[in-house]
Amino acid sequence: VSKTAVSFAFNAPERLSAETAGRIRDVADSLGYRPNPLARMLTQSETMTLGVLTPQALGVMFANPFFAQFSGGVADAAAELGYELHFISPLHGSLGLAMVRTTVDGVVAIGLSAAHPEVGQIEAAGLPMVLVDSDDLSGRGSVVVDDEAGARAAAEHLLTLGHREILVLAVDGPASETAGPRARGVMERRLAAYRSALAGAGVVLEQDHVVACAATIDGGRAAFRGAWAAGVRPTGVLAMSDAMAIGAIRAARQHGLHVPEDLSVVGFDDIELAADLDPALTTVHQPIREKGVTAVRLLVSAISDGGGSKRVTLETRLVVRASTAAPGRRHDLPP
Partner DNA sequence: GTGAAAGCGCTAACAG
Partner DNA sequence: CTGTTAGCGCTTTCAC
In the complex, which residues of this chain contact a copy of itself (CB under 8 A)? 32, 34-35, 37-39, 41-42, 45, 47-49, 57-63, 65, 67-69, 71-73, 75-76, 79, 82, 84-92, 98, 100-103, 124-125, 217, 246, 249-250, 272-273, 276-280, 289
Q: Which does 326 bind (CB under 5 to 8 A by kind): DNA, a copy of itself, none?
A: none
Measured from the CB atom, the residue of 151 and 239 that comes closer to a copy of itself is 239
- Please report how close the Cβ of residue 306 comes to DNA at its closest, in angstroms: 18
Residue 5 · residue 16 · CB < 8 Å: yes
Distance CA 335, CA 333 (A): 6
Residue 45 makes contact with DNA by CB under 7 A: yes
Burial of 255-284, coded b for 16+ CB within 10 Å and e otherwise, reads bebebbebbbbbbbbbbeebeebebebbbb
- Contact stretch for DNA (CB under 7 A) within 35-43, 73-81, 121-129, 242-250: 35-43
Distance CA 192, CA 147 (A): 10
Residue 265 · residue 282 · CB < 8 Å: yes
Q: Which does 98 bind (CB under 5 to 8 A by kind): DNA, a copy of itself, none?
A: a copy of itself
Distance CA 28, CA 22 (A): 10
Residue 304 makes contact with DNA by CB under 7 A: no
Residue 31, SS3 per DSSP = helix
Residue 62 makes contact with DNA by CB under 7 A: no
Q: Which does 46 bind (CB under 5 to 8 A by kind): DNA, a copy of itself, none?
A: none
Residue 7 makes contact with DNA by CB under 7 A: yes
Phi-psi group of 73: left, alpha or beta (phi > 0 → left; psi -120 to 50 → alpha; rest → beta): alpha
Q: Which does 89 bind (CB under 5 to 8 A by kind): a copy of itself, DNA, none?
A: a copy of itself
Residue 245: is it exposed, middle or buried by C-beta count within 10 angstroms (0-12/13-18/19+)?
A: buried
Residue 101 makes contact with DNA by CB under 7 A: no
Q: Which does 2 bind (CB under 5 to 8 A by kind): a copy of itself, DNA, none?
A: DNA
Residue 310: is it exposed, middle or buried by C-beta count within 10 angstroms (0-12/13-18/19+)?
A: middle
Distance CA 47, CA 271 (A): 32
Distance CA 241, CA 269 (A): 6
Residue 225 makes contact with DNA by CB under 7 A: no
Residue 1 makes contact with DNA by CB under 7 A: yes
Residue 276: CA count within 13 A, CB half-sphere: 3
Q: Which does 23 bind (CB under 5 to 8 A by kind): a copy of itself, DNA, none?
A: none
Q: Which does 62 bind (CB under 5 to 8 A by kind): a copy of itself, DNA, none?
A: a copy of itself
Q: Where on the chain is the footprint of DNA (CB under 7 A)? A: 1-8, 10-11, 15-17, 20, 34-36, 39-40, 42-45
